Structure 1
Amino acid sequence: MDAPSLEFPPVGLGTMGIDDPAVIETALELGYRHLDTAQIYENESVVGEGLARALESNAVDRDDVTVATKVWADSLAPEDVRRTTRESRERLGLETVDLIYVHRPIDTYDPERTLPAFDDLVADGFTRHVGVSNFTVDELERAREILDEPIAAHQVEYHPLFQPEGLLEHAREHGYPLVGYAPLSGGRVRDVEAVAEVAAKHDTTPEAVALAWLASKEGLVTIPKASSRAHLEANLEAVELELESADIGRIDGLEREEELFPE
């Protein structure tokens, strides 16, 4: 099943490590409309509080914000999927979470048992959409065979130093967005010669170039983490940078081996 009705802005907010609701509130005030968290980040309540503050101040409408969380690998048995999702909803302060991912297909993940439990989350109003994260193409195909719901998004590590093969093509073929995390290579984009040279050419930062490079790819959105107002603003502005095809080609051609978050 394809063609889910879920669209993301080019840049959302990755929240791993954010422990202050004010960061979330500021992000929403600045125009962020995609908030990404996870059970294992242990900050769903922080994200929920920041969202609640922004809603209370009328900085944003709830219908305009996509809130995503992920069920961790130790909770993918059907009964744990339901229990932990209920707990996530309570921490986020939401009756319905917009998107819930299978965080990693490891540990207690069993496609035949786990994925129907995610279908049930939609049927019972716990979430609007089902996503997967850190899957291979083969795992994606298996999930598509089992799920009644379409895969609404696939979240993977994606940055200049790690460009996984085949995943963006699969996303495009089946009409769902690829959500790239760790887009700044854990801060290492500043030390990548090709990225730094493109940045100098455009009189901007390597971080802005990395985000603009990601934004140039059809079907790919990204979720950099930022805590300061200046970095939050800079990340939003980065996607306005228009790279030349030669710039994109240089970064496309980098060695793709530095995975920050292997299984």
Structure 2
Amino acid sequence: MLGHTRHHRGMLVAAVVLTVFAVAALWPGLLAAADPVATDYNAILQPPSAEHLLGTDQLGRDLYSRLIHGTRPSLVIGLGSTLVGLMLGAVIGLLAGVGPRIVETTLMRLTDIGLAFPEILLALLVLAVLGPGTINVLLAIGIGSAPGYARLIRAQARTVYTSLYVRSAVGFGLHPIVVFFRHVLPNAFGPVLVLATISAGTNIIIAAGLSFLGFGAAPPTPEWGLALAEGRNFVQHAWWIALAPGVAITVVVIALTVVGKHLESQLAGRS
């Protein structure tokens, strides 16, 4: 009973955290009125204070405002890349799961090649072709995460497609397309949505890492990974520059993981 209560408390806290960050992404002006790119050379490298809640950076910009306004590009890259990877993986996995043997073998061998590379390395390879930029980072991370989704969706689709009730539906004359959309597709995506929720946090970390390396948003855009990169040269004298975006990334990732684990437990309870 105590563990059950703690689980729901954790889920509630995670939901509140994600709601706050969602508001920051959609309506940053509600939480931070200051211009995130405005410089003030009279307020360079000031520590957190009543005037500047999270301090200022090397150009005198308000770090609280940059944190709030940086939520949108950071979450767009993380969540958008998850959607791209999920859609691409779904196409590959479903074709392999219900298609002929030659299609399954070809797609799964290509998927195995993709899984041989860590996601961030595969994303870097894609960026080497596409070049840097926010949209390219989103696409690169999505392509890098697609093989994992494809493998899981293929296994789920194959299990459902070969199940007795699906074979019975086909035997009773139900059209294969109807069977696919009514039975295979909904039942194959339950565990995948859990993986997508958890992977969204991982993608946010990868996006921040790529921005840290200079592949993402360009200055003076407020973005968490870029903020970490800008603060690395001032860690000893102005530790607050890198602290805020680092904490924000950590909190969002933990909240998404808690939600993903909750969905996983709910799915396991129904099975």
The answer, yes or no, to whether TM exceeds 0.5 is no
Smaller-chain TM-score range? under 0.3
Q: Which has the higher helix share?
A: 2
Tell me which structure has the larger Cα radius of gyration.
Answer: 2
After TM superposition, the score normalised by the length of structure 1 is 0.24
**Larger RCO: 1 or 2 (CA < 8 Å, sep 6+):** 2
Q: Which has the higher strand share?
A: 1
